[in-house]
Structure 1
Amino acid sequence: MHEFDARTPTAAHEVALDCLRAGVESVLPDRVVRESVSLDGDTLTVAETTYDLSDYDRILVVGGGKAGDGVADALEEILGDRIDDGVVVTPTPGTGDRIERLPGDHPVPSKRGVESTRRLVDLVSDLDERTLVLVAVTGGASAVLPAPEPSVPLSDLRETTDLLLESGAEIDDLNAVRKHLSTLKGGGLARIAAPATVVGLVLSDVVGNDLGVIASGPTAPDETTYDDALDVLDRFDLDVPRSVRTRLARGSAGEIRETPKPGDSVFDRVTNHVLADTFTALDAAREVARGRGYDPLILSSRVRGEAREAAKTHVAIAEEVHATGNPLDAPAVVLSGGECTVTVSGDGLGGPNLEFCLAAAPELPAGTVLASIDTDGKDGGTDVAGALVDAETVTPRDAYRSLATNNALPALRDADALVETGPTGTNVNDLRVLVVESGE
């Protein structure tokens, strides 16, 4: 397990960090897969579903994302030489015995990601009903598995992705656009692999676990349309490259076929299993808090919206615990997950979790500690997971000045408040821990 490097001057800081660590460890892909997938003779069990391997001549493993390598490692351990071939694309590919590991980049797609994805597409093309395809569907796969339509150059896809990320668009808006610019997303992988049996092993980084949104839904029906994608561009007033708008307009006009929708026959032999999500991490963190003598509460696994606004809500909850003992008595730990966004107006360095912590810190009651990280270990475009703050971390003036230019990283680094993990090899969104100590 990666080290969680952070300054912990008080017991409350230590509890917060231990909750974060337990949350991330609970959703590491090798642990998740080993707990959910087993082999007994010819019977492969995934969650509650069984597959008779004697029905298949070939078993393939494909997919990708930040947890793709870990899923592949676990499947090789479970299935061994029953795996005939495989390609998994990740930001930091390892090595495997049966499954090829190839590089891709996140959050903006790259040329090497396109080349790696082409190898994956070749592997799942022209399959028959006696092929079983296990697909690692994990957060980050939208970017690391780019398969842009021929009419959309990679440079245009990159520019569009950048614009969407900076606009504050939520993940479902972002993916509505990306799914209509790619051959693999929005059920595209299922369409290519049909009529093979396809089993999605899903680690969700999406609020609500919408299978059409996680990794842009390569194995799930797409309920969005070309019109929806155009609406996103208009709603956020994005000046995207001509090739992008032209393709979406042609699709809207019925000149290009839609992504496969619910009820499409390409999904007749497709099953998706969500093996872990944000609540998995929150549940593990809750057990740690309870074991340390705190009254724990999972506020929600679905917190979203502007990071600095969500921060105010968490401050308000800490204030309420102190003032009235609601929603629970101190000492308490309040946990939340989800995915906040930042509407970028400055040119500073930061991410949603850093901005969340910086906005909250000056307003936190005394005796309260707040931590927030991205479970993949990289908040936004930074190389840090997030931060661990209290009322003494930063002055209101310094916080507001840094927030004005979206420059949370330097401010929190100067305050020695960063949480650094390195890439964790998993991703189930953001994890937040609010530790409220008893008053004097």
Structure 2
Amino acid sequence: MIDRNATRDADPAHEVALDAVEAGIGAAQPRAVLERVITVEGGTLRIAEEAYDLAAYDEIVVLGGGNAAGQVATYLSELLDGRLDGGVVVTDDPEPADPIEAVVGTHPVPSEANVDGTRRVLDRARASDENTLAVVAVTGGGSALLAAPVEGVSLADLQSLTDGLLRSGAPIDRINAVRKHVSAIKGGQLARGLAPATTVGLVFSDVSSGDVSVVASGPLSPDPTTYADALGVLEEYEVDAPEPVVRHVERGAAGGFDDTPNEDDSAFATVSTHVVADNFTALGAAREVCADAGFEPLVLSSSVRGEAREAALTHVAIAEESGRTGNPVSPPAAILSGGETTVTIRGDGEGGPNQEFALSAAIELPEGTVLCAVDTDGIDGPTDAAGALVDSTTVDDLQLARARLNDNDVYDYLDERDALVFTGQTGTNVNDLRVLLVTE
């Protein structure tokens, strides 16, 4: 999975860090996850603790979107072979899934293909009735891939809004509060389209809060946010949103549109959602690899957030304390974390949150420490790198490193030092994963 030839010659600690990250990503692969939670026995589909008699439905369809939706569709097409009546998923990592149609979209900025595919998802949902069983993949990346701008908002407007939100440094729940209110599918509106079908959501969570209403902007979930909340995000983070977006959100906040469905909406009466994988799925597997390699593992949190470069310094401080006093864990130690850090873009360079996290840490890392930080979908920011692998020797020009950070231009600096980690698209997304090893 990880291209070891593209990463610097690694000592044993480097290899352990890469092995741990690779294991974490592997544990969150849809097939590995779904084999643990879904079975079909004697015509009964079992998902976690719930059972569905397949013979009770006139049709069974698979819908959804996100980075992992392609592999979810493939697995379900095999598991329900001969019983499926089709479906549509929108993903950037498609696989054969006949009779389910996999529409190839773009991420993190939506394209016309995303809009076309999402319209097909909505059309299929609205054609469902009380005799339909809909299994819906809701995965990280779905906010971009499931793109259905409301009337009066164009794709170009949505693209500009997405870019502005991603550059703003706003946390994902605030970003998605805006996305929900310029969309015809997000914020529970897919559930409304499917009702009264029996709907089962398979959620691969890429949000640090674990809130399913935030994953893929919650197409199957009641929306606790409002137009007023969306307007507040645009104002608080000074997002340069297109005028049609601002006009729509302002009109909604003034009561000109019904808000997205909340928990009292009858659309959710026949919907159940199951979080089948999240950041801790990856963290748990990475922790086991570190322990087997002789490192005492400590999971800090699966909910680390905030500015990437600042969160990195907190991790460095913990590594320093470990090496100096043996607290909170004695070396050889593995300090692991997940979540989703953000970058407020002020420069004009190339990079991503995990690359900025890694370079910021590398400036301060004490001798005998190694850090690997990646996005589990294999795409860190708008780049082809998943993240980076660094140690105390990575930064050989302190002034240049800091200048690149300040200009949000870390990709080339890390690439020139063979520090970038490449996985390609991984087919899953359970947010960021970081492994920090303290060897002495």
| Bucket of the pairwise TM-score, normalised by the shorter protein | over 0.9
2:423 to 409, 421, 436: 421
2:108 aligns with 107
- Whether the aligned pair in 2 keeps the contact of 1:2 and 1:424 (CA below 8 Å) is no
Q: Distance in 2 between matches of 1:130 and 1:366?
A: 63
Q: Is 2:170 aligned against 1:169?
A: yes
Amino acid at match of 1:61: V
2:235 aligns with 234
Q: Distance in 2 between matches of 1:103 and 1:118?
A: 13
Aligned-pair CA distance for 1:164? 0.6
- Whether the aligned pair in 1 keeps the contact of 2:68 and 2:93 (CA below 8 Å) is no
Listed one character per residue, the Cα deviations across residues 198-221 of structure 1 (whole Å, up to 9, x for unaligned) are 100000000121111000000000
After TM superposition, the structure 1 = structure 2 runs for residues 291-440 of structure 1, keeping only pairs within 5 Å, are 291-395=292-396, 396-438=398-440
Task: Report SS of the residue matched to 2:82.
Answer: helix
Q: Distance in 1 between matches of 2:427 and 2:366?
A: 34
TM-score calculated relative to the size of structure 2: 0.98
2:75 aligns with 74
Amino acid at match of 1:246: R
- Whether the aligned pair in 2 keeps the contact of 1:335 and 1:434 (CA below 8 Å) is yes
TM-score calculated relative to the size of structure 1: 0.98
Q: Distance in 2 between matches of 1:95 and 1:279?
A: 29
1:94 aligns with 95
1:272 aligns with 273
**Runs (4+) of structure 1 moved beyond 6 Å?**
none
CA RMSD of aligned residues (A): 1.0
Amino acid at match of 1:39: V
Aligned-pair CA distance for 1:92? 3.1
Aligned-pair CA distance for 1:402? 0.8
Q: Distance in 1 between matches of 2:127 and 2:104?
A: 24
Aligned-pair CA distance for 1:93? 2.3
Aligned-pair CA distance for 1:2? 5.8
| 5+ residue gaps, structure 2 | none
Aligned-pair CA distance for 1:394? 1.0
1:51 aligns with 52
Amino acid at match of 1:225: T
Amino acid at match of 2:68: A
1:143 aligns with 144
Task: Report SS of the residue matched to 1:258.
Answer: coil
Listed one character per residue, the Cα deviations across residues 228-269 of structure 1 (whole Å, up to 9, x for unaligned) are 000001101223111111111111122211110012110000
Distance 1:214 1:353, change over 3 A: same
Distance 1:38 1:89, change over 3 A: same
Task: Report SS of the residue matched to 1:268.
Answer: helix
Amino acid at match of 1:51: Y
1:198 aligns with 199
- Whether the aligned pair in 1 keeps the contact of 2:2 and 2:421 (CA below 8 Å) is no
Amino acid at match of 1:117: T
- Whether the aligned pair in 2 keeps the contact of 1:364 and 1:391 (CA below 8 Å) is yes
2:86 aligns with 85
Task: Report SS of the residue matched to 1:302.
Answer: strand
Distance 1:8 1:301, change over 3 A: farther
Q: Percent identity?
A: 56
Q: Distance in 2 between matches of 1:147 and 1:251?
A: 17
